[in-house]
Amino acid sequence: MKRISRKNIPLNFKLLCYFLLYGLIILVVLWVFQTFFLESFYTTTKSAQVEKNASIISKSIQENKNVQGTIENVASYNSLSVYVYDSSSTLFKLMYDCEYDNPATELNFEYHDVYSYYKSAVENGGQYMCVTNKRDRSIAQQSIDRMISFLASPDSPRSEIHYSGNGKSNVQNMVYADIIELRDSSECFLIVTSSITPLNNTVEIIKDQMFIVSVVFIILAVILSIYVTRKIARPISKTNSAAKELAKKNYDVDFDATGYLEVEELNDTLNYAKTELAATEKLQQELIANISHDLRTPLTMITGYGEVMRDLPGENTPENIQIIIDEATRLSSLVNDLLDLSKLRSGAIQPEKTRFCLTDSVNGIFERYSKLKEQDGYNITFESSENVWVFADELKISQVIYNLVNNAINHAGEDKTVKVVQSVKDKKVKIEVTDFGEGIPADKLEYIWDRYYKVDKQHKRGVIGTGLGLSIVKSILDAHGARYGVRSTLGKGSTFWFELDAVTVKKKPRDKNG
């Protein structure tokens, strides 16, 4: 049986598991807080209420403003029992009392009870709070109570709650004791009590409700999780299916899945990649067709002239042999250019930079075109006013210039004029090669550096070169980190240019005869 790894788990199943896990965590938290922490929350809230009301009464007693009325209002509104004793003497004479708490829970204070609470208040800095008839609390439970008390109101001071099991009844009461200093330096002792409602039945009811709520919540969580996961995973699945079709070279596929921003951005990227891959595929097909054409043409001529020389007496002439040599040279150049372009694109050939005179290098290249100028009437000129030295690969830069001139010759106009200009500005030397042919449309300029790209899409044999020149130029100049480009105007011609850092510039001496 094949084992399913985590990598093979579908996205929608993972999302479903995450949503369900999140829902279960919420249920567990609700169960814990509604059962285990409920009593602690209730006690903490009750103690805060009792202490707040006691402080209102204490303030009224200290200011001696409508003490009886304040006690009546506070006690009746909050169902409290309030006792105020004169603690200046040891008899603890009752000054005020008001009982609005549940009669079944009244503590019926006696002298020793009052004294005991007074003593506890003195020991705790003047205030004391306890819960009577409370079962023993563990240290952990008391720590939880303190934590909940702090979280409930971290900024307000609150008396620590003590627990006592010495009450006279089974009813739980909260007792708050406060020693009040009066303006005449005397003191009185305030006791506020409130009954604590038993929570056992409440907890059981909550448990039953939580069970029903949990079942309903789980069912709703499953339904919602399935819906949400499908909503999230559907665009990704659709994009994945389209990507598989693209991998099969189906360039008609559309990435149109929507749903959220990231998927739409991914689809835009894949649509762009699809367009580029389709263009690359088309260029590759054109490249193969063009290379096949350029390889077949010289091979056909070599074979044809060879058969003529073999079969026909008197055809073994120097002219026919020269044609075979020229075509073999053209075939060799094409193969060498293909190899050079492949090595340049892969980075196998790195520039071997040396200091050399660029101006002399251009003049040396122009000597190769003397035969072309004499026989075919081409007017190829070179204009420069300085001798410029650069730090670059002399052989590769010469190849750049040679290929640019060849390209200009192949696209020269009826006047067969090609102009090469060298200029220097801001320690940069620029070489510009201009033809005066038909020019290149503006929307085609970015593609002319591609291998075998033709503006008119009609592959024709050039006067000179192999058709890979501009692609080789681009690779060499990129390896040198040089700037390059092209300017073209339809009907007026094109200018290809590149720039190199000039190391040394020297003005040419003037011609004495000029």
DSSP string, 273-297: HHHHHHHHHHHHHHHHHHHHHHHHH
Boundaries of domain holding 130: 11-203
Angle between helices 67-78 and 38-63 (to 10 degrees): 170
Same domain, 296 and 434: no
- Report if residue 213 sits inside a domain: no
Is the separation of the CB atoms in 129 and 50 below 8 Å?
Answer: yes
Same domain, 292 and 190: no
In angstroms, the Cα distances linking 26 to 61, 148, 218, 222 are 48, 19, 11, 14
Return the CA Rg of the chain: 50
pLDDT 10s digits, 404-420? 988 888 888 888 899 99
Note the residue count of the chain. 514
Same domain, 146 and 167: yes
Tell me which amino acid residue 98 is: C
Is the separation of the CB atoms in 358 and 388 below 8 Å?
Answer: yes
Instruction: Give the pLDDT of residue 433.
Output: 95
Residue 90 has pLDDT above 70, yes or no: yes
Domain boundary among 308, 326, 343: 343
Contacts of 378 (CB under 8 A, 6+ apart): 369, 372, 409, 412, 416, 417, 418
Residue 502 has pLDDT above 50, yes or no: yes
Mean pLDDT of all residues in 232-257: 83
CATH number of the domain bearing residue 468: 3.30.565.10
Instruction: Give the pLDDT of residue 154.
Output: 46
Same domain, 303 and 361: no
Instruction: Give the pLDDT of residue 499.
Output: 95
- Report if residue 210 sits inside a domain: no
- Report if residue 73 sits inside a domain: yes
Number of domains in the chain: 3
Is the separation of the CB atoms in 422 and 430 below 8 Å?
Answer: yes
Record the pTM: 0.46
Task: Report the run of H or E that residue 129 belongs to, with start and end.
Answer: strand 127-132
Same domain, 291 and 365: no
Minimum mean pLDDT among 193-202, 233-242, 246-255, 499-508: which range?
193-202
- Report if residue 209 sits inside a domain: no
CATH number of the domain bearing residue 309: 1.10.287.130
Domain boundary among 287, 319, 343: 343
3 state SS of 15: helix
CATH number of the domain bearing residue 110: 3.30.450
- Report if residue 396 sits inside a domain: yes
Same domain, 368 and 444: yes
For strands 417-425 and 379-383, give the pairing. parallel
Same domain, 135 and 180: yes
CA 218 and chain centroid, separation: 34
pLDDT band at residue 432 using 50, 70 and 90 as cut-offs: very high
pLDDT band at residue 104 using 50, 70 and 90 as cut-offs: low
Residue 486 has pLDDT above 80, yes or no: yes
- Report if residue 246 sits inside a domain: no
Classify residue 421 by its DSSP letter.
Answer: E
> Considering only CA atoms, which of 494, 450, 492, 453 is closest in space to residue 474?
450
